[in-house]
Structure 1
Amino acid sequence: MTIKKIFNNNAIIAENSDKHEFVVMGCGIAFKKNIGEKVDERLIEKTFILKGKDASEKFKMLLEDVPTEYVSVCYDIIEYAKNVLDAKLNDHIYVTLTDHVSNCFKMIESGIIIHNPLIWEIKKFYPKEFKVGLKAIDFIKDELGKDLPEDEAANIALHLINAQINNSLNNVEDAAKQAKMIQDILNIVKYTYNIVLDEKSISYERFVTHLRFFFHRIDKSETVDTAEEDFLLKQVREKYKDAYQCMLKVQKYLGKELSDEEKLYLTVHIQRVSKKN
């Protein structure tokens, strides 16, 4: 394996005998080295093999601007997530998560704290991913000495969820189908209430995000009803009668009986997005 490009003393692009490229990291792996020289494989700590050309090119660009230690800790988080979640993640997660963490540090250093309005839903619907997010905060604290708020656990969980969803959308047709279904549901709400939805509102953004994850959940049958959901749904059905009826239209459109849990949260989101307008 030979050195093709040097980012810094600890990160390079290496090329094997088959002309395949890899991003390789290791303490001092490029120290006093030049392009074309052999890689000291004893110093290799992490190897990034990104199959998608787009993800690979973006990751290389990211390495030009992001400190190596940020890339390293995100690698550890992603590998931990793969094992705990037992899930395949889209290669873009190496780019999106590293970029997010880097920007997060910049904002915190500037005194800017951004709260995640979806933290409640993430804890409820994606407890495994949220726990990984909490563990990621521990990794960052241990490896970088930086403290992050709980909101960042939810943000990291979102990246992991998106990486799973994007990986399950096998082609452009799948993504287009999901986008059309989301638009159809938004139209059901719009015509039921005879309103124009405010696409810049937080309620709208949360609703669309909920729908994206909603399709992922119903495909995998990840929800289980409890007595608590049944009780809350009865309360919501009485309090938000119009939103509940609108939810039933959405259920009819989908052509399948939804769990009480999904009915509950869809109704609440419909109520929020319609009330906002």
Structure 2
Amino acid sequence: MIIKKVFNNNVVLAKNSSKHEIVVMGCGIAFKKKVGDEIDENLVQKTFILKQKEASEKFKLLLEDVPVEHVSLCYDIIEYAKNILNVKLNDYIYVTLTDHISNALKVFEEGLNCPNVLIWEIKKFYPKEFAVGLKALDFIESEVGKRLPENEAGNIALHLINAQINSSYDNVEDMLNITEMIMDILNIVKYTYNIELDDKSLSYERFITHLRFFFKRLNRKEKIESEEDDFLLKQVKVKYKKAYNCMLKIEKYLEKELNDEEKLYLTLHIQRITQR
């Protein structure tokens, strides 16, 4: 491996034997080294091979600003997530999660605590990703001596979920189809209530996120059932009759019978985004 750029004593950009650009980490790997020198492969501890060009370029920019220990920490978290979840993750996870965790540590040091409004839904629909998020908090505490709040486990889980969503589409056409279906669902809500939705509101953002997760679950054929949802759905059906009927229109549009879990959450989201 030949050095193309030195970020610091422990991180370099290199070319491997296949002429591919890779980011290599190792204690003292670039000590007294310069561009064009060969790397001592015995010192290599971690290797980043990002096949997506845009992700690779942004990752290289990130290395200029983020402490090397944060990059190494996030590498360990991502590798752990891949093993536990047994899924493919989009290359951008190395950029987005590293940037997020580095910023989360700065915010924590400033004494701030940013809430995660989706944490309840993340726990409910994605317990495996949330469990990885909690384990990531252990990784962070072990590495930097700071225990981030549970909200951050939800944020980390969200990054992992999004990385799966972005890697689960076979091509751009799949992503466009999902986007089109989300727009159709929003139009169903708008025309049912004869209102314009506030696309800047938190409720709108949560609904869009829920729909993205929903289509991801459909794509992976995941099913979630809960004993309590039949009872809750009956209550919601009476209390929010118009929202429930709107949900039935969405179900008809999807040409798929939804389970009680999805019926419940879609109805509640519709009720939230249509309230003034």
The interval holding the TM-score normalised by the smaller chain is over 0.9
Give yes or no for the alignment of 1:192 onto 2:187.
Answer: no
Kept in 2, the 8 Å contact 1:204–1:273? The answer is yes
C-alpha distance in structure 2 between counterparts of 1:112 and 1:199, whole Å: 27
Tell me which residue corresponds to 2:79.
79
Q: Which residue of 1 aligns with 2:90?
A: 90
Residue of structure 1 equivalent to 2:204:
204
Q: Output one character per residue of 1:211-268: Cα deviation in whole Å (capped at 9) or x when no partner.
A: 0001011222222323211111111111111110000000000001001100010001
User: How do 1:77-156 residues align onto structure 2 when only pairs under 5 Å count?
Assistant: 77-156=77-156
Q: Secondary structure at the match of 1:6?
A: strand
Instruction: State the match for 1:61 in structure 2.
Output: 61
User: Distance between the aligned counterparts of 1:20 and 1:237, measured in 2?
Assistant: 57
Q: Which residue of 2 aligns with 1:240?
A: 240
Q: Residue type of the partner of 2:205? A: E
The question of 1:230 aligning with 2:264 is answered no
Give the alignment of 1:8-47 within 5 angstroms: 8-47=8-47
CA distance, structure 2, for counterparts of residue 170 and residue 112 of structure 1: 39
1:134-184: CA deviations, max 9, x gaps?
000100000111221100000000000000000012221111111111111
Deviation (angstroms), 1:35 = 1.4
Query: C-alpha displacement at 1:87, in angstroms?
Result: 0.2
Counterpart of 1:227 in 2: which secondary structure? coil
Aligned to 2:173: 173
Q: Is the 8 A contact 1:55 1:95 kept in 2?
A: yes
CA contact (8 A) 1:3 1:36 kept: yes
CA contact (8 A) 1:223 1:261 kept: no
CA distance in 2, matches of 1:41, 1:18: 15
Task: Please list every run of 5 or more consecutive structure 2 residues that lacks an aligned counterpart in the other structure.
Answer: none
Match in the other structure for 1:6: 6
Greater displacement, 113-122 / 219-228 = 219-228
Cα distance in 1 for partners of 2:193, 2:247 equals: 12
Work out the CA distance in 1 between the residues paired with 2:203 and 2:217.
21
Which stretches of structure 1, 4 residues or more, deviate above 3 A after TM superposition? none
CA contact (8 A) 2:125 2:224 kept: no
Counterpart Cα distance in 2 of 1:171 and 1:18: 26
State the AA in 2 paired with 1:195: I
8 Å CA contact retained: 1:188, 1:249:
yes
Structure 2 Cα separation of the partners of residues 142 and 184 of structure 1:
46
SS at match of 1:12: strand
**2:270 maps to 1:267:** no
Task: Name the CA distance, whole Å, in 1 between partners of 2:249 and 2:47.
Answer: 50
Contact 2:134–2:153 (8 Å) recurs in 1: yes
Amino acid at match of 1:227: E
Q: Tell me by how many angstroms 1:108 deviates.
A: 2.2
Q: In the aligned structure 1, how far is the partner of 2:196 from the partner of 2:61?
A: 40
Aligned letter for 1:148? Answer: L
**Number of residue-to-residue matches in the alignment:** 276
Using the alignment, how far apart are the partners of 2:256 and 2:20 within structure 1?
47
Deviation at 1:113, TM superposition (A): 1.9
- Counterpart-to-counterpart distance in 2, 1:219 and 1:143: 36
For 1:141 and 1:249, how far apart are their aligned partners in 2? 47
Query: What's the C-alpha RMSD, in Å, of the aligned pairs?
Result: 1.0
SS in 2 for 1:79: helix
Q: Conserved in 1, the CA contact under 8 Å of 2:93 and 2:159?
A: yes
- Contact 1:22–1:49 under 8 Å retained in 2: yes
- Give the structure-2-normalised TM-score: 0.98
